[in-house]
C-alpha cells in the first residue's frame, strides 16, 4: 500500500505564511500536509471557479490550530483534533499556528490549484 509523509512528499510549496507538501497517489488522490504561520483568507484567489469557490472536495484532520470553511449559506469551523469533510462550494480561512493533513481527488485539486496560482500571479504574489 502506498504511503506519504510530510518529509518525503514529492512536491513542496513554500510561500510567506504557508508551507505545503503533496503526494499524488495512483488511483487519483492527493495527500497534503499543510502548515500556516500567518492568518490566510485566500477567497480572492478562487475567482474564475464556479461561484468563485473551491469545487474540490477535501477530507482532512486538523493537527493544530483551526480552519474555517465558508459556504454561500454557512460557515463551519474545525479545530485541533477534528476530522472534516469540505464538499465543493467553499472558501477556506486558515490561521497562524495551524497544521492539517488533507486528502483530495487529484484532478479536482489540480484544476483548482491552477486557477489559484494564475490569480496569485496576476497580483504578483508568485512569479
Q: What is the full DSSP assignment across 29-61?
A: EEEEEEEESS-B--GGGGBTBGGGSB---EEEE
pTM assigned to the model: 0.92
Q: Where are the domains of the chain?
A: 6-123
CATH topology of domain 6-123: Jelly Rolls (2.60.120)
Residue 48 · residue 119 · CB < 8 Å: yes
Per-residue pLDDT of the chain (127 residues; tens, 9 = 90+): 588 999 999 999 998 889 999 999 999 999 999 999 999 999 999 999 999 999 999 999 999 999 999 999 999 999 999 999 999 999 999 999 999 999 999 999 999 999 999 999 999 887 7
β-strand pairing of 58-64 with 29-36:
unpaired
d(CA 20, CA 16): 11
Amino acid at each position: 500500500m502506498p504511503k506519504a509523509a510530510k518529509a518525503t512528499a514529492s512536491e513542496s510549496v513554500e510561500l510567506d505564511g504557508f508551507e505545503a507538501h503533496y503526494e499524488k497517489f495512483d488511483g487519483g488522490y492527493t495527500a497534503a500536509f499543510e502548515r500556516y504561520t500567518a492568518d490566510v483568507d485566500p477567497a480572492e484567489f478562487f475567482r474564475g471557479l464556479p461561484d468563485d469557490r473551491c469545487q474540490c472536495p477535501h477530507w482532512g484532520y486538523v493537527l493544530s490550530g483551526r480552519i474555517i470553511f465558508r459556504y454561500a449559506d454557512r460557515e463551519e469551523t474545525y479545530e485541533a483534533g477534528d476530522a472534516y469533510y469540505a464538499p465543493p462550494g467553499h472558501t477556506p480561512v486558515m490561521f497562524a499556528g495551524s497544521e492539517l493533513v488533507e486528502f483530495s481527488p487529484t484532478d479536482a485539486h489540480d484544476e483548482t490549484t491552477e486557477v489559484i496560482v494564475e490569480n496569485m500571479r496576476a497580483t504578483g504574489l508568485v512569479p
